[in-house]
């Protein structure tokens, strides 16, 4: 299985919105509504921010939202804040008890 | 409180063997699969494989099949990731993770990571 495709970088000024895409295939993103998004600050373990495409775990601000169309999933961060600056990874179930991650996107708050 | 606590950093030479661990606490260890994730220096996350602690059933990513072994000792709530012959390219941070209590499909709990350095 190949890694999901994410843009290497994204950016936006405080208060604005930014959307990060994650493209897979019909064997992963397109085949299941099991996309997750993770936030990773430098030197820290990943933190799950979105699961099952658009659900937010408790404690995650509603500024974070997820969606999917076909083989592409998206994470939108609204009202950008300085602490949102981090690496973001998508992940999808890929069938037969396998998962796949995206290559990661570095989000910079300008 | 659910916790995954991993073993400490390791420095090894190429060709040596290694086993790192991930101890689960605060939940029923045999009820949740443990997943291992690699992060090479400055790179992204890679799903390596998973184990069901209840019966030791495992799945590996094709990229890691045959090079690592995932095992578990459910009597002491510990999952392991093992190499028989390390390579310099195994230098990375390794995380264990567990799914959410409400969703089978996301990794809600993560260990703190174990840094493995392989150098001659």
Question: pLDDT tens digits, residue range A43-90?
Answer: 999 999 999 999 999 999 999 999 999 999 999 999 999 999 999 999
What does the pLDDT read at residue B38? 98
Q: What is the mean pLDDT of chain A?
A: 96
- Which spans in B39-94 are helix H? none
Whether A15 has its CB under 8 Å from any CB of chain B: the answer is no
What does the pLDDT read at residue B109? 97
- Residue A80 tokens read as 């950008």
Collect all residues of chain A within an 8 Å Cβ-Cβ radius of residue B100: 48, 51, 57
In B, minimum Cα distance to A8 occurs at B44
What does the pLDDT read at residue B102? 86
Whether A89 has its CB under 8 Å from any CB of chain B: the answer is yes
What does the pLDDT read at residue B101? 87
Q: Report residue A2's pLDDT band, with 50, 70 and 90 as the boundaries.
A: confident
- Residue A82 tokens read as 């300085």
Q: Report residue A32's pLDDT band, with 50, 70 and 90 as the boundaries.
A: very high
Query: CB-based contacts of A84: which residues, under 8 Å, 6+ apart?
Result: A39, A63, A77, A107, A109
Collect all residues of chain A within an 8 Å Cβ-Cβ radius of residue B59: 96-98
Residues of chain B scoring pLDDT < 70: none
What does the pLDDT read at residue A77? 98
Whether A104 has its CB under 8 Å from any CB of chain B: the answer is yes
Q: Is there a contact between A50 and A75 (Cβ–Cβ < 8 Å)?
A: yes
In A, minimum Cα distance to B107 occurs at A48
Q: Is the model's pLDDT at A1 over the cut of 80?
A: no
| Tokens 């799903």 found at | B47
For residue B106, is it left (φ>0), alpha (ψ between -120 and 50) or beta?
beta
């Amino acid at each position: 299985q190949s890694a999901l495709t994410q843009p290497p970088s994204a950016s936006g000024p405080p208060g604005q919105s930014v959307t990060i895409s994650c493209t897979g295939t019909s064997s992963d993103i397109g085949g299941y509504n099991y996309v997750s998004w993770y936030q990773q600050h430098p030197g820290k373990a990943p933190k799950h921010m979105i699961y099952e495409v658009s659900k937010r775990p408790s404690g995650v601000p509603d500024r974070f939202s997820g969606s999917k169309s076909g083989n592409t999933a998206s994470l939108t961060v609204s009202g950008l804040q300085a602490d949102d600056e981090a690496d973001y990874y998508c992940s999808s179930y890929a069938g037969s008890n396998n998962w796949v991650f995206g290559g990661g996107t570095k989000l910079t708050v300008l | 409180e659910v916790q995954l606590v991993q073993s400490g950093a390791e420095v090894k030479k190429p060709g040596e063997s290694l086993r790192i661990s991930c101890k689960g606490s605060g939940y029923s260890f045999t009820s949740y699969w443990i997943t291992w994730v690699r992060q090479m220096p400055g790179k992204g996350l890679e799903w390596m494989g998973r184990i069901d602690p209840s019966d030791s059933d495992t799945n590996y990513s094709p990229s890691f099949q045959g090079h690592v072994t995932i095992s578990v000792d459910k009597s002491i709530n510990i999952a392991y990731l093992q190499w028989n012959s390390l390579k310099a390219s195994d230098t990375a941070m390794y995380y264990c993770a567990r799914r959410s209590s409400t969703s089978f499909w996301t990794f809600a709990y993560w260990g703190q990571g174990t840094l493995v350095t392989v150098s001659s």
